[in-house]
Amino acid sequence: MITRLSQLFLRTLRDDPADAEVPSHKLLVRAGYVRRIAPGVYSWLPLGLKVLREVERVVREEMDAIGAQEILLPALLPRDPYETSNRWTEYGQGLFRLKDRKGNDYLLGPTHEELFALTVKGEYNSYKDFPVTLYQVQTKYRDEERPRAGILRGREFVMKDSYSFDLTDEGLTASYRAHRDAYERILQRLGVKYVIVSATSGAMGGSASEEFLAESEIGEDTYVRCLESGYAANVEAVKTVVPEPIPFDGLPEAKVHETPDTPTIDTLVDWANGAGLDRTVTAADTLKNILVKTRVPGGEWELLGIGIPGDREVDAKRLEASLEPAEYVLLTETDFANNPFLVKGYIGPKALQENGVRYLVDPRVVDGTSWITGADAEGKHVVGLVAGRDFTPDGTVEAAEVRDGDPSPDGAGELVSARGIEVGHVFQLGRKYTDAFEVNVLGENGKPVRPTMGSYGIGVSRLVAVIAEQQHDDKGLRWPAEVSPANVHLVIANKDDAAREGAEALAAQLDGAGLSVILDDRKASPGVKFKDSELLGVPLIVVVGRGYADGNVELRDRFTGESREVPADSALDEVLAALRS
């Protein structure tokens, strides 16, 4: 196919759009791939749509290869199934809700666990029918609070979501593995640099869960990795390395000190280093006790004390993930007033445990560790309070921040943090939805069996932005061959009639060989055309320019920037060879 730039519905822009902050957004707009219609809502112009379709094709090929079957569910969905799963409420403001002319409630589907469970329930009723995996490539809707970066975080977007149904946990593990492998192949074919991180499950509920994060400094997800072992995890999913317990023998006794005006860790450390304790004290030697209120769904608010080493802050996301499904809030002044044993700035384990407050500590607070911590009285701290001897926590909690340099959970080295963009998620859902919709099938032994589900998503339109983000350079976009809007960008950079005819003949040759060609047949200057060829990002650029008089055309590699002259006669073969390499 030959796409003539003189005809193509395309206008490239010299300037970055005012509302764009990240490179992919700027370039996709400047190159005429997408246009903004509303916040987080975009149009796909011809070249953008071609790339989107290529990404879809790759995703479909890899889904089909693992035996997943494509179907297509509606985006406009009735409220009922989402009421049954409780997600009508749980999704909060993230859901687009609407009413039809009769006043019935509908939503625009953000993800389709409910409908797939119901679809399988509707068709299948015997163990012989399983396992089955279904997928769709579909336009989805989420009313994001902060739509961002063009198509990177849109409110209308294209996603491939699939759902596996197995009768056994082993089956689910196999389906999960097949998807995980397929996602790796997809991202490799698309040239995406990614890491797979352990993830918490968010609002979905379930067990094993991993995210595919595209490496990117502009990503919104922070994760940590160990360069030595390749371990990677969402910050929420990092398990703290637990030190060995320390024998109590010979540990000095705990002693309460007068520590006036030391309500903060800094002031406490200053006091300790001036108190003649015969050692240098750091914040890591102190135990900071934070109070929150938690509530399990349907339950009452309860106090919870959290003890973490004083050199670390509480990471709200990690605490939230650890307490799920319970929620938590910070204490109010009224709470402190109602619980006078909580002495602000001087809270210690003792008062908490004496007053029946549940007390969880950082996993580093193992038996035998000795702490400087609050003595539950204004201006007093206790030194040498030993875990397991002087206090016994009710358990541990992953609430402390993870820091660069922390040991990797696999023991292979240190963790470093990085940023990424979530492009995929694989998730062993379990029976949450098959329970909710009472999906039963006849088992081999004649008794009903409840299938277990996996749910797997990959962001198709987001991947277009991610590829642009990872591959671009300062001149413009650069597309991997697999998703490029054309195989060759052929520039006519010579006003001579013979050169123009030669270029047309070469375009016809390339087309005849099954290649797709963008032919820049416009009357613009060579400079303008070269700039546009770099901006549009087709990986192989062929120039019919000055050298044509000597029988040569130029091949430019958009990725390396290298160019070389080849005889016009053998241009077709040279192009085919370059594309194969």
Which DSSP letter does residue 8 get?
A: S
71 vs 577 by CB, closer to a copy of itself: 71
Neighbours of 302 (CB within 10 A): 15
Instruction: Please name the amino acid found at residue 168.
Output: T
Q: How far apart are CA 318 and CA 324, in angstroms?
A: 10
Q: How far apart are CA 241 and CA 410, in angstroms?
A: 8
CB 458 within 8 A of CB 159: yes
Candidate segments 29-37, 426-434, 476-484, 511-519, binder of a copy of itself by CB under 8 A: 29-37
What is the CA angle 194-198-204, rounded to 5? 110
Does 18 contact a copy of itself by CB under 8 A? no
Candidate segments 136-144, 270-278, 324-332, 411-419, binder of a copy of itself by CB under 8 A: 136-144
Q: How far apart are CA 549 and CA 255, in angstroms?
A: 94
Does 96 contact a copy of itself by CB under 8 A? yes
CB 452 within 8 A of CB 430: yes
With the CA atoms of 319, 87, 436 and 429 taken in that order, what torsion angle do they form, in degrees rounded to the nearest 10?
-50
Answer for which of 21, 69, 245, 253 binds a copy of itself (CB under 8 A) is 69
Does 72 contact a copy of itself by CB under 8 A? yes
The nearest distance, CB 129 to a copy of itself, in angstroms, is: 8
Q: How far apart are CA 263 and CA 250, in angstroms?
A: 30
Candidate segments 41-49, 263-271, 346-354, 373-381, binder of a copy of itself by CB under 8 A: 41-49
The nearest distance, CB 525 to a copy of itself, in angstroms, is: 16
Does 42 contact a copy of itself by CB under 8 A? yes
Q: How far apart are CA 431 and CA 141, in angstroms?
A: 25
Answer for which of 5, 54, 121, 141 binds a copy of itself (CB under 8 A) is 141
462 vs 558 by CB, closer to a copy of itself: 462
Does 123 contact a copy of itself by CB under 8 A? yes
101 vs 279 by CB, closer to a copy of itself: 101
Does 37 contact a copy of itself by CB under 8 A? yes
Scan residues 149-208 and list those touching a copy of itself (CB under 8 A): 155-156
Strand segments (E) across 296-400: 302-309, 327-330, 358-361, 370-377, 380-386, 395-396
Does 15 contact a copy of itself by CB under 8 A? no
Q: How far apart are CA 307 and CA 318, in angstroms?
A: 14
The nearest distance, CB 95 to a copy of itself, in angstroms, is: 9
48 vs 476 by CB, closer to a copy of itself: 48
132 vs 208 by CB, closer to a copy of itself: 132
CA 489 to centroid of chain Cα atoms: 33
The nearest distance, CB 93 to a copy of itself, in angstroms, is: 4
The nearest distance, CB 455 to a copy of itself, in angstroms, is: 17
155 vs 432 by CB, closer to a copy of itself: 155
145 vs 249 by CB, closer to a copy of itself: 145
Answer for which of 14, 15, 18, 145 binds a copy of itself (CB under 8 A) is 145
List the beta bridge partners of residue 564: 555
The nearest distance, CB 356 to a copy of itself, in angstroms, is: 41
b vs e for 39-48, b when ≥16 Cβ sit within 10 Å of the residue's Cβ? ebebebbebb
Does 98 contact a copy of itself by CB under 8 A? yes
Three-state DSSP state, 64: helix
Candidate segments 2-10, 441-449, 480-488, 538-546, binder of a copy of itself by CB under 8 A: 2-10
Strand segments (E) across 378-487: 380-386, 395-396, 415-430, 441-442, 448-449, 452-459
The nearest distance, CB 231 to a copy of itself, in angstroms, is: 37
Does 124 contact a copy of itself by CB under 8 A? yes
76 vs 203 by CB, closer to a copy of itself: 76
Does 214 contact a copy of itself by CB under 8 A? no
3-state secondary structure 195-214: EEEECCCHHHCCCCEEEEEE
Does 442 contact a copy of itself by CB under 8 A? no
Q: How far apart are CA 562 and CA 28, in angstroms?
A: 24
Q: Which two tokens stand for residue 205?
A: 């509920």
Scan residues 43-62 and list those touching a copy of itself (CB under 8 A): 43-46, 49, 52
Candidate segments 116-124, 389-397, 424-432, 489-497, binder of a copy of itself by CB under 8 A: 116-124
- Cβ neighbours of residue 478 closer than 8 Å, sequence gap 6 or more: 471, 472, 537, 539, 558, 559
What is the CA angle 158-222-214, rounded to 5? 45
Does 77 contact a copy of itself by CB under 8 A? yes
Answer for which of 9, 244, 445, 581 binds a copy of itself (CB under 8 A) is 9
Residues that bind a copy of itself (CB under 8 A): 7-11, 32, 35, 37-38, 41-46, 49, 52, 67, 69-78, 93-94, 96-98, 100-101, 106, 108, 115, 119, 122-124, 132, 134, 139, 141, 143, 145, 155-156
